[in-house]
Homo-oligomer: A and B are copies of this chain.
Amino acid sequence: MIQRIKKIFIGKPLPNWEYKHQRLSKKIALAVFSSDSLSSVAYATEEILIVLMTAGAAALSYALPIALVILFLLWILILSYRETIKAYPNGGGAYIVAKENISTIAGLVAASALLLDYILTVAVSVAAGVAAVTSVYPGFLEHKVIIGIVVVFLIGLLNLKGIKESGVIFAIPTYLFLFSFMIMIGVGFFRYFTGQIVPTPAETIPILNGLSLFLLLRAFSSGCAALTGIEAVSDGVPAFKTPESKNARTTLLIMAGLLTFLFFGITFLALHYQLTPVHDRTVISVLAENIFGRTPFFFIIQAFTMLILFLAANTSFADFPRLCFFLAKDKFLPKQFMQLGDRLVFTNGILFLSIASSILLILFHGNVHHLIPLYAVGVFTSFTLSQTGMIRRSLKLKQKGWKHALVINTIGAIMTFIALVIITSTKFMSGAWIIVILIVILVLIFKKINIHYCSIAKQLSTSNIKAPIDLRGNRHKIVVLVQSFHQGIVKSLRFAKTFSSDVVAVHIDISGAERDRLIANWERFNPKMDLVIISSPYRVIIPRLMSYLDKLESEDPKLNVTIIIPEFVPKKWWHHILHNQTAFAIKAAIHFRPRTSYISVQYHLEE
C-alpha cells in the first residue's frame, strides 16, 4: 500500500548501478550553479532600500555606494574562490577546507553555518518567489505561508524523485531570467541616457532614524544577501567537463560579471525611478511596471523571477543532503543521512530540509524582510573560515604560486571577517543571535554524536578476538511462558524441546482459576516438562517474571536464559486491540537484560 503510493509520487526504485555523475559544459554549469547567486538580486536591492528608507527619502541615494562596496567584496571573494578551486579540484566546500587546514571544530562551525545557510536559502528564495507572484496578484498575499510550504514540499518531492543536476532543464529558467533582466535593465539604461525617465512622484517618507554610520552598515549587511550562493561553483568542481578546474574558474568569473551587471543595474534604476519599497509589492515588480507598464513583458519578468528563485531553493536540496552525507560519513550526524533512497538520493536530508525550511516560513510568516537578518551570518562565517583555511594551506604546503594565493586569500579572509563582524553586530538583535546560538548548538550536537559513534565502534571492535574464532558458548536454559494452555502454547513447547533439553515452563499466577485449569491440562497432556508456578497476588506479570530470571541467572553465573514468548497473531489489525499487549511489554523489559534473549513464537490465527 505505502509502496504503491510511494511509487506513484516518487517513481520506481533505481538499482545501485544507475548511480553516476554527469559532466556539465560551462554553459550548463553556469546555469546550474549560479541560480542561487543570481537570484539574490531579486531581493538584495530592496533590502538595502528598506533600511535606508527609515532615514527618509534623501538617504536612499546611499544605496548605490553601498551596492558598489558589496560588489567590491564580491570580486575579492571571486578571486579567493578561484584559488580554492585550484587547490581543491574534487570540490572544496567550506567544511572540508576548514576541517583539513584549521581544525575539526572550525570545520564543524563552517558546516553548521552552511547547513543553516541552506535552510535559509530555501526559506528566503521561496518566500521571495511567492512575493514575485503576490506582487502581481495581491489576492494571494494572505495565503503566502501556505503557498510557500506547498512550493517547498513540491521541490522536495521532485528531489526525492531524483532530478539533481540534470542540466538542460535547469539551464532554461536561468537563461530566461538572465535575458529578460538584461533587456529590462538595457531598456532602463536607454531611457535614462535619453532622459526619458519619469520618476514616480516621491511620496513623503516618515523619518524614523537619523542617518548614521550604524544605519549605513545595517543597509550594507542587508545587501550582503546578494553574495549568498557564490560558493556553489567551488563545491561542484567535479561536475565540470575537463579541464574541470579551469572551466570552473572561468564560469566563476562569468557569474561574477553577470551578478555585477544585474545588481548594479537594478540598484541604479531603482534609485533613478525614485522607487521606495512598499508593503505588498517587490521593488523588482514596481521597477518592471515602470519600465514596461502592465504589458506582457511585466508579467514575464515576474514569472521568470519566480522561476529562478524556486530554482535557487532547489540548489539547496542538492547541497544540504550532500553536506549531511559528508558529516554522517565523518560520524558527526546520524548515519541515516548516508542512506540512499529508492531513487539514489539522500532521502533523510531532503525531508529534513523541507521540514526545517517550512518551519522557518511559518515562524517568519513567509516574509523575506524578516528572514534576511538571519541569512548572511552563516554565509560569511563559512566564507571567513574557508579563506582562513586557504591561508593556512598556502603556508603549510607552499605549492607553486602559493604567495599569490596567500595574498588574495588573506585579503579575502580579512574582508569577509570584517563583513561578518558588521553583519553580526548590526543584525544581532533582529535575528542574527538565533544563528549564532544555533551554530553553537549544532557544533555541540555534532561532537556528542561523534563521541557516541566512536565509543560504539570501540566497543563493537573485534580486534581483541583471536582468529580463528571459538564459538563454543555458555549453557543455555529455555523458559517458556505459559499463561494458559492452548494451541499456541503447544507450538511454543514443541519449539523449545527441539532446541534444547533444558526447558522449563513458567506460569505467573494472577488468577487462581486460570492456574487450576492449567495444572489440570498439564496433568492431562503430560508434556514431560517442569511447570514452575509463581504466585503474583498483585496481579503483575513482568516484575515476577524478571525476578525469576534474576534468580536463575544468579544461581548459575555461566547460564544464559532464553525466554520463549508465545504470541498469537490475529487475522485483522483491529483484532489486536482485543488482546493484551503483555508480549510486547515483556520484550521491552528483556531488551534491557544483557544475559537474557527472547524468542517470539507466533501462532497465526486463520479467522
- List residues of A whose CB falls within 8 A of some B CB: 13-17, 334-336, 339-340, 342, 449, 452-453, 455-456, 459-462, 465, 467-469, 471-474, 476, 485-488, 490, 493-495, 497-500, 521, 524-529, 537-540, 560, 562, 568-570, 575, 577-580, 587, 590-594, 597-607
CB contact between A468 and one of B455, B461, B525, B577 (< 8 Å): that residue: B525
- List chain B residues, Cβ under 8 A from A580: 335-336, 339
Which residue in chain B gives the minimum CB-CB distance to A496?
A: B471
A601 and B605 within 8 A (CB): no
- Which residue of B is nearest A562, CB measured? B599
Contact of A459 among B465, B591, B605 (CB under 8 A): B605
Q: CB-CB < 8 A to A334: which residues of B?
A: 577-579
Whether B578 lies near A449 (C-beta < 8 A) is yes
How far in angstroms is the closest Cβ of chain B from A562? 7
Given contacts A459-B605, A487-B460, contact A452 B578 (CB under 8 A): yes
- Bound Cα distance A35, B27 (Å): 87
Q: What are 6 sample pairs from A and B whose C-beta atoms fall under 8 A apart? A: A16-B537, A453-B578, A460-B488, A462-B487, A468-B527, A471-B494
Whether B598 lies near A525 (C-beta < 8 A) is no
Q: Find out whether the CB atom of B486 lies under 8 angstroms from the CB atom of A527.
A: no
Q: How far is the CA of A461 from the CA of B521 in the complex (A)?
A: 12
Task: Give Cα distance in the complex from A594 to B568, angstroms.
Answer: 10
A593: chain B residues within 8 A (beta carbon): 602
Do residues B16 and A539 form an inter-chain contact, with CB atoms below 8 A? yes
Decide: A594 and B602 in contact? CB cutoff 8 A: yes
Neighbouring B residues of A538 by C-beta, 8 Å: 13-16, 342
Q: How far is the CB of A588 from chain B (nearest CB, A)?
A: 11
Does B601 lie within 8 Å of A597, measured CB to CB? yes
Report A174 CB to chain B, min CB distance, Å. Answer: 33
Nearest-neighbour CB distance to chain B for A324, whole angstroms, equals 14
A567 and chain B: residue at smallest CB distance: B591
Kindly state the separation between the CA atoms of A528 and B455 in the bound complex, as whole angstroms.
30
Residues of B within 8 A of A471 (CB): 490, 493-494, 497, 527-529
What 18 additional pairs, Cβ within 8 angstroms, besides A334-B579, A598-B600?
A13-B540, A334-B577, A334-B578, A455-B607, A459-B605, A460-B488, A462-B486, A462-B525, A467-B526, A468-B527, A469-B493, A469-B525, A471-B497, A472-B498, A473-B495, A562-B599, A590-B600, A597-B601
A205 → B minimal CB distance (Å): 46
CA distance A573 to B580 in the complex (A): 25
Complex CA–CA separation, A590 to B604 (angstroms): 12
**In the complex, are the beta carbons of A598 and B597 less than 8 A apart?**
no
A-B pairs with lowest CB-CB distance, top 8: A460-B486, A15-B537, A468-B526, A473-B494, A469-B525, A594-B604, A473-B498, A471-B497
